[in-house]
Structure 1
Amino acid sequence: MAPSTPLPTARRRRLGAELRRLRERADLSATEAGARFGITQSRISNIEAGRYGVSAERVRALARTYDCSDESLISALAAMAGERKRGWWEEYREVLPGGLLDLAEAEHHATALRVAQAITVPGLLQTPEHARAVFREFVPALMPHEVEYRVSHRVKRQEILFRTTPPPYTAIIHEAALRMQFGGSGTASAQLAHLLAMSERDNITIVVIPFDGTSFPISGHGVDYFHGPVDQLDTVQLDAAHGSQLIDTAASLGRYRLMLDRMENVALNASNSRDLMHRIAKST
């Protein structure tokens, strides 16, 4: 039996999608592009779907074929093509939904991160006990070993915040999330203490939207915004009950940037947010 082909990573799918966008902007069909480049239409389609890998040199050649003159974008795409090693998240491929692996991959490659949560503390700032309590509330219920896999994966994701040169991380949290008692008062108190400690790190900014805020421009689901090396390669991840979803169209990226800007504008500043967290911790 022939070995199975590894599933394309989110990174490879994104590279293929960007190459497709360049082709479409050049007003070329896959057949026309293949003819110009000397390969078949099916090869072009498979590259764009992320099913076939592509070298950095071929990415640059395709960009020239598509008359792309944005050297920053071309260099960023070529760098994506040059990546060969699969990340640590692949060890979870058989035990966790693919969306969680895509999330870890997007976080790993982000140059900066901005997240917003209304009901729960952002995953990268959760203690293991808080994360475990949240996972135990899933519907349908997770098996105990599934909970532990998810906790382990979440803790592993948090390592990006402790790199030698960690990416800037901004968390916008509604006061409601700070007052939730996942796991009971002891777990909640430990979670607040952890948030306060993390807020003192140079690369982390935590701001809180208080209950008495004037507005709250979000629909309720969690939003993770990952900045890429160029704006065109930014990515949004939405965390909803039906699962996570990665979004990368220009219109959607602009919409979520505006939403997060508005949320930061109505949030307390970092110092006042810490004061509020201290007050909540004392009352927990």
Structure 2
Amino acid sequence: MGLRANPSYRQRRFGSEVRKLRERAGLSVGDAARLMGMHGPHLSNVEAGRTSLAPERLERLLEAAECTNTPFADALASLGRDSGKGWWSVYRNVLGASHLDLAELESQAVVLRNYELLFIPGLLQTFDYATAVHGGGYDESMREVREQAVEFRLRRQQILTSARPPTFHAIIHEAALRVLYGGREVMRDQLLRLIELSRLPHVTIQVVPLEDEGRAAFIHAFMVIQPQVAELGTVLADQLGTAQLFDDPQVISDYEHSFARLSELALPPIDPGATPEGRTVKDSLGLIQHILYPLL
């Protein structure tokens, strides 16, 4: 099997975890390779995500690293075996690798925590809103790519209505609710969509009001993606318009703490079932209705 020229994030992550295990065992590349019955260059390519590692060899490395965390070991082995193929594969020649990596990560997630400053979260967007947002990123000659990017975003949303959906917690800055992407009707339907999706038992939506901007505004949008084994979690951060993926445990912990703080500062979650007389404090639903009223 030839070496991968452009390994996916999952493949690079597997290689990174193999390297961490080797370092935890105190082994050089050469020593670890001999332990696993392979050559050093082969192991270097594994750690770079350019090739795979046989399960029995991974097991030897886990033993050398004294890794007794069975769920982690099983999840890592699964990460290495996974083909990476899914519904997103048909977009491989159209959209960038970051799109495919995100869809693959979301497909394995049990918890998603998303903060958005300027846009409605992609998993909550309507077709017209997504079309309006993508319209500014492609010129007329790339109409087909734009249409497929919108289609791709809507297909990502199917995880929220799948048989085993992840828990999804979105925190949206009020600024994102007030920008009329696509016009008044598009934004009206989008706000109504937020209320509709908040009825799903696994979806929580909060709004950070503008009045708390000084305390609660965060420098950029991000999503914490947690799979079944939290140690293999990832953060997607949108920095200066570029999506970056982070797997360093301290970085993930920092973003989790930031999300927790944002949740504390945001208004109480949307509760479509709450009666007007039962709402004694300002909440996310009330703010959305206030913004929505002039658009009706």
Query: Do these two structures clear the TM 0.5 threshold for a shared fold by scoring above it?
Result: yes
Match of 2:275 in 1: none
1:94 correspondence with 2:111: no
In 1, are the aligned partners of 2:4 and 2:51 still within 8 Å (CA)? no
Shift of 1:234: 0.8
Inter-partner Cα distance in structure 2 for 1:26 and 1:13? 20
2:287 to 265, 272, 276: 276
Per-residue CA shift, 1:62-88, capped at 9, x if unaligned?
211332222221121122223235112
Change beyond 3 A, Cα 1:3–1:129: farther
Task: Give the secondary-structure state (helix, strand or coil) at the position aligned to 2:83.
Answer: coil
Identity %: 35
Inter-partner Cα distance in structure 1 for 2:141 and 2:229? 38
Task: Give the secondary-structure state (helix, strand or coil) at the position aligned to 2:175.
Answer: helix
Per-residue CA shift, 1:146-195, capped at 9, x if unaligned?
21111011011111111112110000001111111000001111111111
Change beyond 3 A, Cα 1:143–1:172: same
2:180 partner amino acid:
Q
Inter-partner Cα distance in structure 1 for 2:2 and 2:47? 23
Match of 2:78 in 1: 79
Unaligned runs of 5+ in 2: 272-282
In 1, are the aligned partners of 2:84 and 2:104 still within 8 Å (CA)? no
Change beyond 3 A, Cα 1:217–1:278: closer
Match of 1:121 in 2: 120
Unaligned runs of 5+ in 1: none
In 1, are the aligned partners of 2:221 and 2:237 still within 8 Å (CA)? yes
Shift of 1:217: 4.8
Match of 1:155 in 2: 154
Shift of 1:139: 7.4
In 2, are the aligned partners of 1:125 and 1:158 still within 8 Å (CA)? yes
Match of 1:164 in 2: 163
Per-residue CA shift, 1:208-249, capped at 9, x if unaligned?
101112611511x21011012222111000123442111000
Aligned length: 282
Task: Give the secondary-structure state (helix, strand or coil) at the position aligned to 1:172.
Answer: strand
In 2, are the aligned partners of 1:59 and 1:77 still within 8 Å (CA)? no
2:231 partner amino acid:
Q
In 2, are the aligned partners of 1:56 and 1:79 still within 8 Å (CA)? no
1:83 partner amino acid:
D
**Consecutive aligned runs of 4 or more in structure 1 exceeding 3 Å deviation:** 2-7, 55-58, 139-142
Change beyond 3 A, Cα 1:163–1:120: same
Match of 1:26 in 2: 25
In 2, are the aligned partners of 1:96 and 1:150 still within 8 Å (CA)? yes
Q: What is the TM-score of this pair, normalised by structure 2?
A: 0.89
1:264 correspondence with 2:263: yes
Change beyond 3 A, Cα 1:11–1:4: closer
Match of 2:34 in 1: 35
Moved more, 205-214 or 54-63: 54-63
Change beyond 3 A, Cα 1:142–1:263: farther
Task: Give the secondary-structure state (helix, strand or coil) at the position aligned to 1:43.
Answer: helix
Inter-partner Cα distance in structure 1 for 2:9 and 2:135? 27
The two structures, once aligned, show a CA RMSD in angstroms of 2.0
Match of 2:274 in 1: none
2:73 partner amino acid:
I
Q: What is the TM-score of this pair, normalised by structure 1?
A: 0.93
